[in-house]
Structure 1
Amino acid sequence: MSEKVILVWFRNDLRIHDNEILLEAIRKADKVLPVYCFDPYYFQKTADGVTKTGNFRARFLLESVADLRKNLRALGSELIIRTGNPAEILPQLAETYQVNEVYHHREVAYEETDISEQVEAALWKIRLNLKHFIGHTLYHKEDLPFPIKDIPNSFATFKKKVERDSNVRHCIDTPENINTPEIADAGELPTLQQLGLDEPVDDPRATIKFTGGETGALTRLQEYFACSNAVTTGKGRNVSADHSSKLSPWISLGCISMRQVYWAVIKHEQETHIHTGALLLELLWRDYFRFMFKKHGKEFFANDDTETQPSASQDALFETWKKGETGIPFIDASMHELNATGFINNFSRQMVAGYLVRDLGIDWKKGVAYFEEKLIDYSPASNWGNWAFVAGLGHDPRDNRYFNITKQASELETKSGFISIWLPETVAVE
């Protein structure tokens, strides 16, 4: 009897802990073939000349894939790395290694689902099944108190019902070893230059160095708890909002699952009585936006009836916003930090987005595209969902009343080192 081989197609699930497709493949197959594809689609320029993936996020991705390979090798396995269209590469590998089935985690944003459909069609031509799993949310779809089509459009209602009537599943087991077919050519990790990008320059003003991979994610989680202990002056007090977890880059690539974070938070709170509710709230927002995409698809923005007619003056205003030259200190400092590090906190994102859309009158989708390029923690559902919310779109029935961003931002004090632009060439090297 021939051996059963299952190909595990890694995408935004770059971890060995709490990874259902990996563990299920180990249980169901004699041998498991882990694969990651660097799809050129994500490194192209759009029609507007914007790069879909900037160099900070691309470096973080490369580090994450390298860490996944290291962790798989520690379990006696290997990660095949290829650069190209997954719809071409996966069928080729399937035939080479006599694969019986392909596993992957289902996505919700239309670009990602379109790629899945292309892969599924290509595999079907060689009579192979692409099996879909759900592994990117805190609450499993099957555990929600309502079917997807009836999910409340209001976040407040969604939160209330889910927290009252649903439970977060516990993390699944971590594999102890993985039996993999003998691989002749595992492939090399591409360089940034091969992906068409320059090496990013790390800004000395950055408060954290984001290093991609599951190892870095677990380290950062413990650092966050240590920080929360340090800033808490009394038993049971909330952690300061200035000390955000900064876990989102690792969560976005699935280097750590939201369930891992959730249960680690619960354990930490039980042991220390220090509450970190803000972090759990952010996890729930991520769920909400993913489920909204699942429910509405491209119709998520159906009420956007704006006709964009870009003018020279609007283009000039957009450039001042991108470069942090608006004259509003908080806005400019936030944009300088985004450009220099690939990360700003959620409050800063809301402020710069509101300023672009409401004060400058620029099409919100231009902001979406710019954030996609720059953010190290870019996630389609969260990025589009948050921008739509700021723009007063989406399906949440609450009134998104106008508030004066310029006045609010101008009254914010900022001692940020990013108030001015840092030029790498002006820094002495010793």
Structure 2
Amino acid sequence: MSEKTILVWFRNDLRVHDNEILFEATRKADKVLPVYIFDPFYFKTTELGLLKTGNIRARFLLESVADLRHNLQSLGGELIVKTGNPAEIIPLLAQQYQVSEVYHHREVAFEETRISEDVEAALWKIKLNLKHFIGHTLYHKEDLPFPIKDIPDSFAVFKKKVERDSEVRPCIETPDHINIPEITDAGNIPTLVELGLTEVVDDQRADFHYQGGEATGLQQLTQYILNSGQTTTKGPRYASRLSAWISLGCLSMRWVYREVTQGSHNSNSPLVLELLWRDYFRFMFKKHGKQFFSSEEITDVTSAQDELFEQWKSGTTGVPYIDASMHQLNATGYMDNYNRQIVAGFLINELKVNWTKGAAYFEEKLIDYSPASNMGNWAFVAGINNDPRDSRYFVGTKQVAELDTQSQFISTWQPIFEDGDSLSPVVPI
């Protein structure tokens, strides 16, 4: 009797804890073949002249894949790493290692689902099945009090009904051992340069350093729980900074929920509300499909919009708070949610630039980019399909001119380079 081998295709689920595809594969197969593929599609330059993945987010991804490989190795496994088209690579690996089935977590954004469909079609040609699992949400879609097509478009209604009628499932246990076939070439994790990107130079003004991977994500979660009762210069709430690890699946949303709601903590934690927003945007994209990804909207711009967009991108609008926020984003890959709402509103309402261009720029720059959350937030600020009651769940924005301008990123902007030199300021602020 031949052994059964299941190929586990990792994408945005770079962890071994609460990972259903990994656990189910170890339970149902004799051997497991973990695979991660760096798809050149995600490192190309778009028609807007923007990178789909900037170097700061790409570095975080590389670190996360390296940590996943380490964690799999600690369980007796290995991670095969390849670069190329998944629809070509996965069938080849399946044939090479005599794979019986391929597991992966289902995505919702149309680019990600198209890639899944291409892989599924390629596997079908060699009579293999691509099995879909749901592992990116806090609430499982089967446990929602309504079918996807009937999910309320209002977050307020969605929140009320889900919290009243649904429960968060318990976490999946972590495998204690992984059996793998004999792997002839596990492959190397590419460098930023090999992905067509420049090396990252960390800005000295950054007040937080992101390092990718499940291990550091779990450490940050522990730190958040320890400090969540403390006050900060921005108020009583201690920012979790967990979004980057959640977006890549280095942290499971259910695991985060379990940790922050046990003991002295409860389901009223601000972090639980943020997790629920992530679910809401993801389910909205499952319900509405391409509605918020209209390429016609992105390309329908004027030269005047182009100039204003460039000023916004580079932080040269002349409005100190806006410019400082963009400087921070460009230098660190991060901007808190409060500032994201402000700079998005400024681009849309003051500069009259199409909101989808701002969303595309955030895709390149944000270290915690997630398609549904990013486009959902931008659509929210743009006033698309919003219920007025939803606005009370976001921090109310002041007039930009009234905002505090005490920020390290408001001082004269001088990008710092590896050799210690710097450019002249783009504009005095």
Match among 337, 362, 368 for residue 328 of structure 2: 337
- Partner-residue secondary structure (3-state), 2:377: helix
Q: Distance in 2 between matches of 1:8 and 1:366?
A: 35
Equivalent in 402, 424, 428 of residue 416 of structure 2: 424
Name the structure 2 match of 1:236: none
What is the correspondence of 1:13-412 to structure 2 with a 5 Å cutoff? 13-231=13-231, 240=235, 243-270=238-265, 277-300=269-292, 309-394=300-385, 396=387, 408-412=399-403
Residue matched to 1:4: 4
Question: In 2, are the aligned partners of 1:292 and 1:300 still within 8 Å (CA)?
Answer: no
Q: How much does 1:410 deviate?
A: 1.2
Query: What is the rounded CA distance, in whole Å, between the counterparts of 2:235 and 2:30 in structure 1?
Result: 49
- Given residue 156 of structure 1, which amino acid in structure 2 is its aligned partner? A
- Structure 1 counterpart SS, 2:161: helix
Aligned partners of 2:298 and 2:356 also within 8 Å: no
In the alignment, residue 387 of structure 1 is paired with which amino acid?
A: W
Query: Aligned-pair distance for 1:423?
Result: 2.3
> Does the 8 Å contact 2:329/2:365 carry over to 1?
yes
Cα separation, partners in 2 of 1:108 and 1:426, compared to 1, 3 Å: closer
Instruction: Determine if contact 2:206/2:332 at 8 Å carries over to the other structure.
Output: yes
Determine the C-alpha separation between the residues in 2 that align with 1:399 and 1:359.
Answer: 22
**CA shift for structure 1 position 223:** 1.4
Question: Are 2:201 and 2:418, in contact at CA under 8 Å, matched by a contact in 1?
Answer: no
Q: Deviations over 1:215-243 (max 9, x none)?
A: 010011111122224439xxxxxx94653
User: What secondary structure is seen at the aligned counterpart in 2 of 1:81?
Assistant: strand
Deviations 1:337-363 (A, max 9, x none): 000000000010000000000100001
- In the alignment, the residues of structure 1 paired with residue 5 and residue 339 of structure 2 have an alpha-carbon distance, to the nearest angstrom, of 47
Q: Given the two structures, how large is their TM-score scaled by the length of structure 2?
A: 0.92
Cα pair 1:338 1:374 within 8 Å, conserved: yes
Residues of 2 paired with 1:399 and 1:216: CA distance? Answer: 33
**Could you say which residue in structure 2 is the equivalent of 1:235?**
none
Structure 2 SS opposite 1:369: helix
Alpha-carbon distance in structure 1 between the residues aligned to 2:407 and 2:19:
39
> 2:288 corresponds to which letter in structure 1?
H
Q: CA deviation at 1:400?
A: 7.8
CA distance in 1, matches of 2:267, 2:204: 32
Q: CA RMSD in A?
A: 2.3
C-alpha offsets along residues 252-287 of structure 1, whole Å, 9 cap, x if unaligned?
Answer: 0000010011010012534xxx88621111100000
1:231 counterpart SS class: coil
**Amino acid in the other structure paired with 1:262:** Y
Cα 1:307/1:291, change in 2 over 3 Å: closer
* CA apart distance, 1:398: 5.7
Distance apart, 1:308 and its partner CA: 6.2
Task: Read off the aligned partner of 1:133 and give its amino acid letter.
Answer: F
Q: Helix, strand or coil for the counterpart of 2:271?
A: helix
- For the Cα contact (< 8 Å) 2:229–2:237, is it kept in 1? no
Distance (whole Å) between structure 2 residues aligned to residue 426 and residue 72 of structure 1: 34
CA distance in 1, matches of 2:398, 2:22: 51
Q: Distance between the aligned counterparts of 2:379 and 2:226, measured in 1? A: 35
Query: Is the contact between residue 214 and residue 256 of structure 1 (CA under 8 Å) also seen in structure 2?
Result: yes
Q: In the TM superposition, what whole-angstrom CA distance separates every residue of 1:156-211 from its partner, at most 9, and x where no partner exists?
A: 00000000111111111111000000101000000100000001111111111100
Per-residue deviation, 1:397: 6.6
Correspondence 1:413 to 2:404: yes
- Which letter does structure 2 place at the counterpart of 1:393? I
Distance in 1 of aligned mates of 2:9 and 2:308: 42
Q: Which runs of no fewer than 5 residues in structure 1 stay unpaired?
A: 233-238
Report the counterpart of residue 426 of structure 2 in structure 1. none
Structure 1 vs Structure 2: percent identity of aligned residues? Answer: 67
3-state SS in 1 of match to 2:264: helix
Q: Given the superposition, is the C-alpha separation of residues 427 and 205 from structure 1 closer, same or farther in structure 2, using an over 3 Å criterion? A: farther
Alpha-carbon separation, structure 1, partners of 2:38 and 2:329: 25
- Deviation, 1:329, is 1.5
State the Cα deviation string for residues 291-338 of structure 1 (Å, max 9, x = none). 001111113578x99696533322111111111111222111110000
Does the residue aligned with 1:386 lie in a helix, a strand or coil? Answer: helix
Once residues 236 and 148 of structure 2 are traced to their aligned partners in structure 1, the CA distance between those partners, rounded to angstroms, is: 32
Offset of 1:414 from its aligned partner? 2.4
- The whole-number CA distance in structure 1 between the counterparts of 2:390 and 2:280 is 18
Check conservation: 1:334, 1:352, Cα contact below 8 A: yes
